[in-house]
Structures are given as C-alpha cells and as structure tokens.
Structure 1
Amino acid sequence: MNIKKLIPILEWLPNYNTSLFKGDLVAGITVGIILIPQGIAYALIAGLPPIYGLYCALVPQVMYAIFGSSRQVAIGPVAMDSLIVATGVSTLALAGSDSYISIAILLALMVGAIQFIMGIFSLGFIVNFLSKPVITGFTSAVALIIGFNQFRNLFGVDFVQSDQLQYVVEDIWLQLSSYNFHTTIIGLISVVVIIIFRRINKKIPNALIVVILGIIIMKYFGHSFNDVSIVKDIPSGLPLFSIPEFDFDLLRELFPIAFTLVMVGYLEIISIGKSLEAKQDEYRIRPNQELIALGLSNMMGSFFKAFPTTSSFSRSAINQESGAKTGMASLISVVMVVFTLLFLTPMFYHLPKTVLAAIIIVAVFGLVNIKEAAFLWKANHLDFWLMLATFLGTLLLGIEFGIIVGVGLSLIVLIFRTSRPYVAELGKVPNSDFYRNRSRFEEVIIEDDILIFRFDAQIYYANSSYFRDKLDEMAIKKGDALKLIVLDAESINRVDSTGVEMLKERIKFYKKKGVTFLLAGVKGPVRDDLFRSGILSIIDLNHFFMRANGAVQFYKTGCREQQEKYAKYIHQAYH
C-alpha cells in the first residue's frame, strides 16, 4: 500500500523548500485576507453567528491540506453550501438559536461521514450522473438565489428568505419602496468599489478594502448612520473540541439536505480541482481521495463547531494566481484566521452587514454562466434545454428539487440517447474494400440485394426494439430483392440478454424469408456474450467476419478462403 496516496501531504512535504514557501506565503496571506470577511458573510447566509464562518476556516483547511490530492484548492465556507444549510435547518429551528447552531454542526458531521464512506468505497463515479449542462444550470440558479436573498441586507429591508426565487422577487417588489437610504448607499458603493478593483486586478483584496472602509465609516461617522445594521460583537478565542449532539429522528430529517450538500460539495471540489489541475503538470486530482479529504474536513470540522464546508471557486482561483504551490498556503491562511480569532474580532464590531451583502452579491453573480448557455444553444440544443430545465427547476422549486431535476433529466437524456442511437446503411466506396454511410457519402455503391446495417451503440433492453424496428424498416425498403443482411458490429461494445434474444429472433425471421444474415467486426467481449447465449445454434461459425467487405465477398463468390482464416482464429479461441 502506497502511504503517499492515502496521505498526499507526504508527496510534497519531504521535498519542501524556501522557493516553494515564497509562493505559498503570498498566496496564503492573500487568501486569508479574503477568507476572513467572506467567512463572516457566509455565516450570516447560513443563519449562524459570524464567528462560525471563521471556525469553518480552521480545522477543515488543515485536514484538506493533509489529505487532499489538489495542492491549490481552497477549502472553507462557501455561499452555495451556506444557503443550502439555511434552507434545510431553518425548517427545524429558529435561525441563530442554540438548537439551530447544533443542528448545523451535526449536519457537517453527517455530510462528512457520507463523503468519507463514498470515498472509501470508490463511489466518486456517482458525480458522472450530473452532466456539465446540469452543473451549469444548477450553479447559475443557486448564484441568483443567493444574490437575491442578500438584498435584505443590501437595502436594509427584511425581505423574505427562500430558496425559491419567485417568492423572494415578489417580496422585494412589494417592499422595495421602504428601503433604508443609508444602508443602500453604503451597499451600492461597496458593490461599485469591488467591481472596479476586480477589473483593475483580481489579486487586489477588494473584499478587505470595502470591509475596512465600512468599519471606518461606521466607527467614526456612525452617528450619521445609526440606522445601518452592523455585525456587532464577535466572540474572541478558538473553538473547543466537542462532539455534536446526536438525535436519530433528526438524522433522518436531515438526510435529504445532507445528501444535497454531499453532491454539491463534491461537484464543486472536482470542478475546481480539475480546472486547476489543467494549469500544471506536478500532480493529478484523484476523485475518491477528494471525497475522503472533504469527508474528513467536514467530520473533524464538526468537532470544532464548523458547519458544512467545501472548496471555493473564487479563493481557489486566487490561491493559484497568487503563486500557491502546495497545501502550505492553506496552513498559512489558517494561521491568519487563528490570529484574527484571538486578537482582531473586536475590530469587526462596526462592520456594516450591507458591505458583507455587497461582497456576496458580486461574488455569486459572477457564477451565472451566460457564455456557457450561449455555447450550448449553438452546439447542442438538447444540452441547452437540459441546462435550462435544471436552471428553472432550481430557481422555482428550490435547491433540493433542483438537484433531483438535474439528476433525473440527466438519466432520462442518457437513456434517450442510448435507446435511440445512430443507425446507418453502408455502401461500398468505389474501387476499394471500404463501406461508408450512404447518407454522408453520395458516391458509395448500394446494391438492391444487400443491406449493410450499422448500429452505433450497445444493444440492450432499452434499445433492442429500436434496433429491430430500424433493421426491419431498411429491409422493407429493399423489398423482395433482399438476399443478404450484414450487421456491421464495430460500434457495438456490449450486448445484454434482451439484445441477444432479439438478435437471434431476427436471424431466424430473415432465415425463414431466405435472407442470409452475417456479422462483421464483432468485438471479442460481444462475441463471447453471443456464443454463451447460443447464437451458434442458429447460425454457423463461418457467418462471422472481420470486415463487412469479407462478408459481402463470401456471399457473392461463395469463396471461403478468407473466412477460413477467421474461423480458425475463432476455433483456437473457443475450443
């Protein structure tokens, strides 16, 4: 067993040097500066006291630095997970109450345990059921939901909070006229400042700049803005070790939201990790190891009062752009958060909540991927409608149902595409031994008594009827002149029992009509399945050919010289 695969920090730590530390130091400080105000903001999204956002930046980061296969992914509180936490936990307890906090921490333990178990049993493939269009639709919708939910802090109006956008928008429309002037001005100015600095240089800590400006304004000119809501007291000190309170009835109620967080968190870390992986050649992302690392981060974080965490799109990108080479950058960010918790939390007393709302809104609205939607419309209409359905499902039905819609539609599209694959009649290319699709090559020769049928997918229960119908449709067009059918099986990589029975039935059917049925290009595993299923009881071994041309020549000339070589090969393999 390779211990370095289980504990990836051992891959880079023994060879760590000062040149690596320089990049990690700059990146760690930069991300730490951004993480502190974001952590406070995301805790508010989750319905928790601000201090819990900083707790999420401690143990989870340390665990991921040790066990994560990516050296540049930044772990911690994120807007999407925070909103999902708020959506799920708010139905069980009052936001900000002790019971609400304990449920959110228990949720982190559940999420971590599920992720860890999935990683141990190599279940990372589950994420493949969420296609890129589904991910795009889901993340874009969640970004809008998060952004609109922050309008309550941006405008200083107690708008309703919901993960169903129509209710939020309706309430904003009805109550927007009662906005708080001072709160709105500070918030909108913060938005403009952040956007300007982002366009100048993304490395500029724009979040920290507006936080400092907001604190200065409220501290020294607060008498003029006494109607602006501020963060107020944030406790100092580090979280103590404690085991989350267990309640099996509560665990059952939390499972749907926990599984949602598992999928979303894993999707985020894989998509971010893969994008960073493509920019270097030093390491490769291992999906199951990422599940293990994320699981340990959430489980161990829950023992130190952290709510569910995952990777951050923005902080991971900044981490890489700032020169991070290893997980040491994350450990440096942890040191900064520890220093803040011990000594600097009183400084955030006068921080306006509208500034935090501005930070969140700018960050999440950047995740609305309009370019990808435009690309899908041009490239693949079915993928576009899949993305749009997921987007609308998430916006209007909520985050949980959005994932269900996305996964369900992905499976439906997968089944649809494999149940109705591409089929073609092949014709002979003049002066050659090659056969090509008659729909794409006008010059191919089509003979009235021969049908070369190509099926571009596995043959299984969902498409066996489609295979039969298309084969019969092409055969009927040939009419009574048809004497030979050749199944070009080069594109068939699997056949199940339903497919084999259908194939045997068609061979018998055409045999009764005096039509010879030959097979060409059958792959070894498919041939194994056919032989085990007794197909040789209805056709001869000599009816299998390497290529369609060989099958046609066999039919035309009756010459068996070429076929004997293939038959000899088959006999050696199976006798």
Structure 2
Amino acid sequence: MQRPLAGLTRSNLITELLAGVTLLAIAIPLNIGYAQIAGLPPTAGLYALVVPTVIYALVVSSRQVVASPDAAAAALVASSIGGLAAAGSEDYATMALAQAIICGVLFLLLAFFKLGFLANFLSKPILVGFVGGLALDILVSQIAKMLGVKIESGGEFVEKVGGIVAGLGTANGWSILISGVAVAVLIVGRRLIAAVPWALVVMVVATIVVVIAQLDQQGVAVLGEVPAGPPTLTWPVLSWLEWLALVPSAIALTLVTTAEGLLVSRSYGEKRRYTTRPNRDLFAFGLSNIAAGAQGSFAIGSSTSRTAAMDQAGSRTQLPSLVLAAGTLLLLLFGTGLLADIPSPAIGAIVAVAVLPLLGISEFAALWKRDRFEFAIGATCFAVTLFIGSIPGILVAFVLALINLAKRAASPAIDVLAADDDPKQSLLDEAPPGSTTAPGVIVIRIAAPLFFANGAVFADAVKKAVVASGEDDVRAVVIDMEAVTDIDVTAAESFEGLTAWLADRRILLAFSRLRPESEARLAQLGMLEGAQVFTTNRAAVAALSPPADPNAQP
C-alpha cells in the first residue's frame, strides 16, 4: 500500500512547502469565486480546502493532482439546484451538501466495482463541448459582476445575456475600472512573471483601494462579512424525493470528474514516472466528497489548472495540499475580517480569466482541422449545455458518444490480403477486378469484433470482393480471424446469409488464424459447420487453390 505523501524527502521539503504557499495564494480567491458561481456563501468554497483536501491528499494514489471544486463543477451545481430551490436559501445550501454526498457514494461504488472505464465514454470532443458550454455561462455571470450590473444568478444563459444588455445603463464606472485593471494585470503579469500569484495580488490591492477610497459607497459591490470559525460537522436533512431529484446532476458531476480526474492523474503519473491507481483515486474522490457534504461545502473534483501550477512549481507530492488546508484553516479562524471588503468586480475578473481556457477555443479549432464529425459532436454538446442545461448536456453527450462509437464500429478496416498477409485492397471502397489473394482464393481480414453494427457490413464486403473478382473464378473465401475478439448473435445471422450466398455459387468458406476463444464461440454459434479451419493463411491458400494445369505453357 502506498504511504501518504509518497515522494517527499528532505531534499525536496522546502520546494514542496513553498509550492504549498503558492497553492494557497491561488486557491483562496478562486474558491471564493467558485462558491459564488455555485450560489453558495464564500465559506462553502473555503471549507472545501480543509477536511476534504486533507482526506484526498492522504488517500489518493496520484502525487500531484489537486482536489477542489472547479468552475465547471460550480456551474453544474448552480444550474442543477437552481431549478429546485432559490439560490442563497437554506434549502439550496442543504441540497448542495446532499449533492456532494451523493457524488461521494457514486465515486465509492465506481471504485468498488472498478467501473472507472465508464468515464471513457466522455471523449475529448464531448468534454470540450460540455465544459466549454458551462464556461461560457460562467463567463457571462462574471462579466455582470465586472460591470456592476445585477442579473438573476440562477437564470438561463439567454436570460443572463438579456439582463446584462438591459442593465448596461446601470453599469458602475468604478467596477468597470477595477475589473479592467485586474484583467490586464492577470493576463500581462502571468506572461511576464508566471511564478507570482497574481490572483492574490489583484485581490489584495483591489481590496486596499476600495477601503481607502470607500468605493463601496460609490456602488462597488463587496464580498461582505464572512463567518469566522472552522468547518463544523453537519448533515443535510431532505425528503427522499429531494434526494432522488439530485441524483441525475450528481451522476453528471461524478462522470465529468471521473473522466477529467483520471486523465489528469494518469498523464502526470506518466510524465513524472510514478504509478497511479485509478480505483484508489476514485475512492479518494468518494471520501472527499462525502466529507465536503458533511461539513458545509459542495462537490469536489480535480483542478487541472492548480495541478499544472504545482507541477511548474516543482511539486511532486501532496504536501502542498496539506499546506493549503492548514493555511485556509488559519484564515477561517483568524482572518475572515480581511475578506469582507474584497470587491466583487475583482473576484469576477479573477474567475473570468481562470475560465477563459475552459472555453476550448483552441481545441475546437483543432477538431475542425482534424475531424469535422467530432467537431460537430463537440459543438452540439456545447450548444445543448449552454442553451438547454447541464443535465440535458450530459445526456446528449452520452448519446453522441454512442453514435460516434457505432459509426466507427460500423466501418471497420476490411481488407483483401496478399499472399504475404499484408493488406492488398480495402473493401470499404469498391474492390477492383482481380483482387484475389491467389488464383481462385480470396483471403479477407476484418480488424474488429463482429457484432450487430458491422456484421452486415462485413458480409456485403465479402460479396463485393467475390463479384469484383468474378464469381466463376473464385473457388474459396478464407476469413482471417486473427483480429476478431468476439462475435455476437446478429453477426452470426449475417454469416448464415453469407454462407448460403457462397454455397449457391459453389464457393467454399474457410477460417484461418482463429483464437481459441473465437473458435469456441464460432462453434457455439454453429458457424463452423461445413467450414474448414486453417492455422495460417498460407496453409489455407495452398490447400484451397486449384491444382496447377499440367498442360499449361511455362
């Protein structure tokens, strides 16, 4: 069993501690902003950095992934609970806690049954579209804060945009100035000196300016009083119907976090050459989410941006996360008074700049160049998430994933093989005349399992090859089964039709290079009746080719 804080040594202790201070400076302002996106008080974002962070850091197999609520999760929380309770109400906060606990239970079930592979159905185009739609919705809300315009926080995207347009006449000049300077500092500062925690610098300086100039009296919104004290143990009390109503959104949160979290964990493990255990990572997410829901926070996921920041800072352990938890606890105990005058435009600017990369502009451009169909999948998921909602977005994502999977499975590589077993002619296109492997024999290979989506496609491809080569000239068809790992009943029925078609033309059917499990499956389905089986393609060609004509001219 992996020991906690694996990779920590005396030589890297100082580096890890300094990385923890950097993480603290990054996480505090972002989590306050993410809590506001979720429609929750600032303490909900800060509490997530204490107990859940400690549990995750001590249990997870990854040495670098940072666990925290992120922008996409916060937006999903707001959009899913916003239709069940009023943002800012006690019922709303209780539902957010319950949602996190349900997520935790789902993560534990995924870990126990080793079902993390389900997240693989969320391909990159789907994730880019889903997260991009949530990010644009977040961005619109933050623009309203930056302008000093009040809009309905739980409204739909179109309503938010309409609210901003309608409220432009009430925009606050000081808010616009603060947010404009903040955005410039965050973008330019990061390019000049990336190591500086510019989000913290912006938050501190903006707060000092607001206090000295008393800009809150000029219409600049501020964070307000933040209750002091550590997180306390609690438990959401809801009816069974209310718990059930939260399950779909919890499933969506769990799947998105699983897909992103395991991908980030694996990529950094490979990059830094240490082993990660996906099911243990899911177990860590489960415990941390239950802890979040039981002490006043909301759903926990993995933070790609903070993980990247820690990697750049030289961190290779989970010690920075423990430093983050300790620093946040001290802030909650002794420093919440410092948070009351933080201007909302500055928080909006910090969050807006943080979510800009999540829009997926460069990813969409790359998809457009590489694969228009996958671009369309991502764009559809983006539009549904943005204009209809996050839960419909995740449902459409799965439907699109299945369509994409079926499309690819229905068009496997099907080739006529040459005598040396190399592909000679693809049967996905029209086969030219004479595309036999040897005189009178055609060896055909399909590089995929045979099942309902491609069984008829393969049968048609075989017929196409026979017709193209001249039905009277073909003596035998050999199916190379090396790449076929499974056959289902529908594909077997397609084979029955193909066998009858070949028999009507007095063409023999044979199989070569069968895997033992495939041979047993073929026998079970009755596909070996009357067919010959060969260990190699050469043996099949040699046995089935017509005998040489002794009277033929040399």
Distance 1:469 1:536 in 2: 20
Counterpart of 2:479 in 1: which secondary structure?
strand
Distance 1:141 1:277 in 2: 29
Shift of residue 191, structure 1, vs aligned partner: 0.8
Is 2:257 the counterpart of 1:265?
yes
Residue number among 196, 220, 230 corresponding to 2:212 in the alignment:
220
> Closer, same or farther in 2 for the Cα pair 1:224/1:27, shift >3 Å?
closer
Match of 2:499 in 1: 507
Is 2:379 the counterpart of 1:388?
yes
Distance 1:314 1:504 in 2: 55
Counterpart of 1:366 in 2: which secondary structure?
helix
Q: Is the 8 A contact 1:455 1:467 kept in 2?
A: yes
Gaps of 5+ in 1: 560-575
Is 2:326 the counterpart of 1:335?
yes
Identity across aligned pairs (percent)? 30
Distance 2:380 2:225 in 1: 43
Q: Is the 8 A contact 1:218 1:225 kept in 2?
A: no
Q: 1:237-248 counterparts in 2 under 5 A?
A: 237-248=229-240
Q: Is the 8 A contact 1:9 1:65 kept in 2?
A: no
Match of 2:537 in 1: 548
Deviations along 1:424-473, whole A, 9 cap, x unmatched?
Answer: 33344xxxx44532359999974674333222221112222222222223
Distance 1:175 1:437 in 2: 67
Deviations along 1:255-278, whole A, 9 cap, x unmatched?
Answer: 111111111222232232233223
Shift of residue 378, structure 1, vs aligned partner: 2.7
Q: Is the 8 A contact 2:5 2:319 kept in 1?
A: no
Match of 2:103 in 1: 111
Shift of residue 394, structure 1, vs aligned partner: 1.8
> Closer, same or farther in 2 for the Cα pair 1:363/1:224, shift >3 Å?
closer
> Closer, same or farther in 2 for the Cα pair 1:517/1:537, shift >3 Å?
closer
Q: 1:119-518 counterparts in 2 under 5 A?
A: 119-161=111-153, 164-222=156-214, 226-281=218-273, 283-428=274-419, 433-438=420-425, 446=436, 449-477=440-468, 478-518=470-510
Match of 2:51 in 1: 59
Shift of residue 505, structure 1, vs aligned partner: 4.0
Residue number among 512, 527, 546 corresponding to 2:519 in the alignment:
527
> Closer, same or farther in 2 for the Cα pair 1:450/1:27, shift >3 Å?
same
> Closer, same or farther in 2 for the Cα pair 1:558/1:11, shift >3 Å?
farther
Q: Is the 8 A contact 2:98 2:293 kept in 1?
A: yes
Q: Is the 8 A contact 2:179 2:348 kept in 1?
A: yes
Amino acid in the other structure paired with 1:31: L
Counterpart of 2:220 in 1: which secondary structure?
coil
Amino acid in the other structure paired with 1:468: A
Q: Is the 8 A contact 2:132 2:360 kept in 1?
A: yes
Q: Is the 8 A contact 2:439 2:545 kept in 1?
A: no
Distance 1:368 1:271 in 2: 19
Deviations along 1:66-86, whole A, 9 cap, x unmatched?
Answer: 111111111122111111111
> Closer, same or farther in 2 for the Cα pair 1:126/1:536, shift >3 Å?
closer
Shift of residue 413, structure 1, vs aligned partner: 1.1
Counterpart of 1:316 in 2: which secondary structure?
helix
> Closer, same or farther in 2 for the Cα pair 1:79/1:436, shift >3 Å?
closer
Amino acid in the other structure paired with 2:355: V
Counterpart of 1:518 in 2: which secondary structure?
strand
Distance 1:371 1:16 in 2: 36
Distance 1:434 1:126 in 2: 36
Shift of residue 534, structure 1, vs aligned partner: 3.2
| Larger mean Cα displacement after TM superposition, 96-105 or 348-357 | 96-105
- Number of equivalenced pairs: 543
Amino acid in the other structure paired with 1:400: I
Distance 1:167 1:270 in 2: 35
Counterpart of 2:459 in 1: which secondary structure?
helix
Deviations along 1:191-238, whole A, 9 cap, x unmatched?
Answer: 111111111133211110011111101111015852100012111111
Shift of residue 514, structure 1, vs aligned partner: 1.2
> Closer, same or farther in 2 for the Cα pair 1:49/1:520, shift >3 Å?
same
Counterpart of 1:454 in 2: which secondary structure?
strand
| Larger mean Cα displacement after TM superposition, 31-40 or 488-497 | 488-497
Deviations along 1:137-185, whole A, 9 cap, x unmatched?
Answer: 2222222121112122111111244575333333333333432111111
Gaps of 5+ in 2: 549-554
| Larger mean Cα displacement after TM superposition, 216-225 or 79-88 | 216-225
Counterpart of 2:272 in 1: which secondary structure?
coil
> Closer, same or farther in 2 for the Cα pair 1:493/1:170, shift >3 Å?
same
Residue number among 50, 60, 70 corresponding to 2:42 in the alignment:
50
Distance 2:372 2:418 in 1: 30
Q: CA RMSD in A?
A: 2.4
Deviations along 1:89-140, whole A, 9 cap, x unmatched?
Answer: 2222222122221221121111111111211111111101111221122222
Amino acid in the other structure paired with 1:122: K
TM-score (norm 1): 0.89
> Closer, same or farther in 2 for the Cα pair 1:123/1:223, shift >3 Å?
closer
